[in-house]
A and B are shown apart, each in its own frame.
Chain A
Amino acid sequence: MGVISLRAVSKSYPSADARLEVLRGVDLEIDAGEFVAAIGPSGSGKSTLLNLIGGLDHPDSGTIRIDGLDLGGRDDRTLAAIRNKKLGFVFQSFHLIPVLTAAENVAWPLVLKGMERRSRAARATELLERVGLAGHLHRTPGRLSGGQRQRVAIARALACRPKIILADEPTGNLDAVTAAGIMELFASLNREEGVTFVVSTHDPMVVSHAGRRLQLTEGTLRDTSRERPLHEDLPHV
């Protein structure tokens, strides 16, 4: 069984006429250390897929397992602990806490985990150095550029040494050069630390870093990386 396992997962939302089926009986296995891109047009269910894997939302039916743990029927406390320890999130809008410094933002998952102050400060410093922000530890997000904020968000996602990082349109608010830098960082973390990445994107450059491509169309999921070469997938991104 992979580090991420979905069985017959369906999800729908209420709409004006009837329920809108976003995912229809999706099956998926992702192994540890994979770099997976979820691609598809807007509204195809990419973010929904990531939200379900991340335990941020519940499926209507089906089973989701993260590192062997079934997310179904878990209470808020357990799901929060799973998100804290096993998953890292990177969002398009960064979602940093503006009143905290870069180092404090990175350390917050460790606060929630219960790590003592000195250890988490050391870990935050180490991670910010890793993402190239050694000189910006004490700056608040308002004093950082978009790319720097996203690097802080990545460092925060890595704080608790998660096995999986879920990134929803991580380069959506960044210019091309900055986006390339972020993807280089993702690739090196994947390659050197074996972190599993699942990235939803519209960006062909992001897709080019993925070892595996999942095409979402009308609620169904198809692994296209074994069916056709990357350049044939790019028009569908």
Chain B
Amino acid sequence: MFDLVSLSVRNIFRNRRRTIITVFSIVVGFSAMACFGGFIEFSFEGLRETTIRTRLGHLQIYADGYSQHRVSDPESVLISEPDEVMAHIAKLPGVAAVTPRLSFSGLGSTGRTTVNVSVIGVDPEGEEEFADFETLVAGRPLEPGDPEGGLIGEELRNGLGAEVGDWVTVLTTSFGGIINAVDFRVAGVVRTGSKEYDSVFVKVPIELAQRAKETAEVERIVVLLDDTDDLSALQPRIEEVLSMFDDEFETRRWDELAGFYDAVVALYTGIFTVFAGIVGVVVMFSVANTMTMAVFERTGEIGALRAIGARRSTLVAMFLIEGVGVGLLGAGLGVVASWLIAGAVQATGGIAMPPPPGMSQGFQAYFSLTGDVLRNAFAVTVAATLVSAVYPAYAASRIRIVEALQQ
């Protein structure tokens, strides 16, 4: 086998100009695939972290039965004494923040205009970590010791016609079914990145939200980790802490709650699959052309090898190894080229992208060349070269020896 591989490798470099052109086309195809895959990976990372750090956290803890009764009887599935639970979870290494939340929908009014709002009550002390992806466009963030201050989304500010310092009244229904109203003063205006979310976003101290819903309890506890990759390891430990309490809890990971993220991942993955397929076909034709030329040029040698005792299968193996060898060479150089391109993009500050659909801000794009991205591009490239070598290899093995020796 080693001798066959050695012969095939030498044959690859026999017609150097043609091999260089073929390898170059593979490198271009590989780099396009890896960079596009890296761009998508970067987009996934950005969307994932935005989703986690502005809204969901990594893990949400609810009272047992929340998923069943949160609509029909939300008051029965509130967490009554969250402080001790939060204190225990906050001690775990890798946990960045633990904070309670109570959210509800209502109507927000400045007296002039009334619009729908989605209110989220938070503990300002535990929110600093969550503010990473919120851009403050006016005023200041929530601060401990300001029980009447609140943040609103940029689009909601436009809808209400409210400015920093204005009072906004929120009308909602308490858990007891009584219509209730609370007031907050606009302390700041933020941009979360999502236009839709910005148009209803209200963030107030949790005490204000509890007053509106006439409860002393919280709806959920949100846990934020230092690193998203630690979630699988930390979730069992958090659940172990929860099991120490008399009350029972249920937990949800961020990816179980982020339907939008899943939809985006599915869409982009589909687009990438089509793109990779197109690149694979281009690579296949390039290598198939090279291999077919090699078979034509080496017909006499094929005859001689058969005459001295080579089986058809030996010739098939020889040409398949050549095809895969060209693919491996192209893919290997493609990895280097992709790293250089990604490095150049990094060094020049990224590629300026317009705001995605439904988002309010553009962003600087980079190529995240993760192991998975490079592995996928490698697999597609090598598979394409292997497939493209099949027919030339088969044709070489079927040439009649007598005719081959006449070349």
Q: Per-residue CB proximity of B298-314 to A under 8 Å, as 1/0?
A: 00110111111111101
A95 surroundings in chain B (CB, below 8 A) = 300-301, 303-304, 307, 405
Q: Are A111 and B3 in contact (CB under 8 A)?
A: yes
Nearest opposing residue in chain B for A83, CB measure: B309
Q: Which of A80-133 contact B (CB under 8 A)?
A: 80-81, 83-85, 89, 91, 93, 95-100, 108-109, 111-113
B290 smallest CB distance to A (angstroms): 16
Q: Are A84 and B401 in contact (CB under 8 A)?
A: no
Q: Are B401 and A77 in contact (CB under 8 A)?
A: no
Stretch of A49-57, A64-72, A206-214 at the chain-chain interface:
A49-57
Q: Are B402 and A57 in contact (CB under 8 A)?
A: yes
Q: Are B311 and A89 in contact (CB under 8 A)?
A: no
A85 surroundings in chain B (CB, below 8 A) = 309
Q: Are A80 and B402 in contact (CB under 8 A)?
A: no
B301 surroundings in chain A (CB, below 8 A) = 95, 97-98
Whether B7 is near chain A, meaning CB under 8 Å from some CB there, is: yes
Nearest opposing residue in chain A for B304, CB measure: A95
A97 surroundings in chain B (CB, below 8 A) = 7, 301, 304-305
Q: Are B10 and A112 in contact (CB under 8 A)?
A: no
Whether A76 is near chain B, meaning CB under 8 Å from some CB there, is: yes
Whether A149 is near chain B, meaning CB under 8 Å from some CB there, is: no
Whether B14 is near chain A, meaning CB under 8 Å from some CB there, is: yes
For A56, A81, A85, A98, the residue with the greatest tally of chain B CB atoms inside 10 Å of its CB is: A56
Whether A46 is near chain B, meaning CB under 8 Å from some CB there, is: no
Q: Are B402 and A51 in contact (CB under 8 A)?
A: yes
Q: Are A89 and B14 in contact (CB under 8 A)?
A: no
Count of residues in B whose CB is under 8 Å from the partner chain: 23
Q: Are B300 and A80 in contact (CB under 8 A)?
A: no
Whether A163 is near chain B, meaning CB under 8 Å from some CB there, is: no
Q: Are A112 and B308 in contact (CB under 8 A)?
A: yes
Bound form: Cα–Cα A156–B305 in Å: 11
Q: Are A99 and B14 in contact (CB under 8 A)?
A: yes
Bound form: Cα–Cα A54–B4 in Å: 24
Partner of A99, one of B11, B309, B312: B11
Bound form: Cα–Cα A93–B406 in Å: 9
A56 surroundings in chain B (CB, below 8 A) = 306-307, 401-402, 405
Name 27 interchain pairs, CB-CB below 8 A, sorted by A. Answer: A51-B401, A51-B402, A54-B307, A56-B306, A56-B401, A56-B405, A57-B402, A77-B311, A80-B306, A80-B311, A83-B307, A83-B308, A89-B307, A91-B304, A95-B300, A95-B301, A95-B303, A97-B301, A98-B301, A99-B10, A99-B14, A108-B3, A112-B308, A112-B309, A112-B310, A156-B308, A160-B309
Q: Which residues of A contact B (CB under 8 A)?
A: 51, 54, 56-57, 76-77, 80-81, 83-85, 89, 91, 93, 95-100, 108-109, 111-113, 156, 160
Q: Which residues of B contact A (CB under 8 A)?
A: 3-4, 7, 10-11, 14, 300-301, 303-312, 314, 400-402, 405
Ranked 6 nearest A-B pairs via Cβ = A84-B309, A95-B304, A99-B10, A112-B309, A56-B401, A80-B311
